[in-house]
Structure 1
Amino acid sequence: MTNQALLEALGKEIRARRKLKKLTQAGLALRANVHPNTVSLIERAETVARVDALLDIANALGAALSQLIKAAEDRAAHH
């Protein structure tokens, strides 16, 4: 699995969990205390997010960062 494939899968995982919580990108950004553009860029795999931003996003989604990474790895492996 390439780094790009994992970044894309992570973005899709964050988007899916955000939508399950019925949050907009702006709503998630507000909860995670990150810039709304950050959420958008991560979801589209157009940036490599800093670990602290990913931790904040995971917490805002009610998940551990390790859960997000594992789900992204599984998602990337199946596509």
Structure 2
Amino acid sequence: MTKEALLEALGKEIRARRKLKKLTQAGLALRANVHPNTVSLIERAETVAGVDALFDISNALGTTLSQLIKAAEDRAGLR
């Protein structure tokens, strides 16, 4: 798999978990203390998110960063 595939899978995983929690992008951004555009760009794999942002987003989604990345790897078929 490519880096792009992992970034796309990570965006899809964040979107899926956000929707399970019935959060809007703005709601997740507020909880994670990031800009709403950041959430949108990450979900669409149009930016490479920093560890700080991903850490805050994972916490806002009620999971750990390692679990979020593992789920993205699984989604992308990396494992």
TM-score by length of 2: 0.97
Matched, 1:44 2:44: yes
Give the drift of 1:3: 0.1
Runs of 4+ in structure 1 off by over 2 angstroms are none
Separation (CA, whole Å) in 2 of partners of 1:52 and 1:61: 14
Give the drift of 1:47: 0.1
User: Sequence identity, in percent?
Assistant: 88
Q: In the alignment, residue 48 of structure 1 is paired with which amino acid? A: V
Give the drift of 1:12: 0.1
Give the drift of 1:67: 0.4
Q: Secondary structure at the match of 1:75?
A: helix
Give the drift of 1:50: 0.6
Separation (CA, whole Å) in 1 of partners of 2:29 and 2:46: 16
Tell me which residue corresponds to 1:64.
Answer: 64
TM-score by length of 1: 0.97
Unaligned runs of 5+ in 2: none
Q: In the alignment, residue 55 of structure 2 is paired with which amino acid? A: L
State how many pairs are aligned: 78
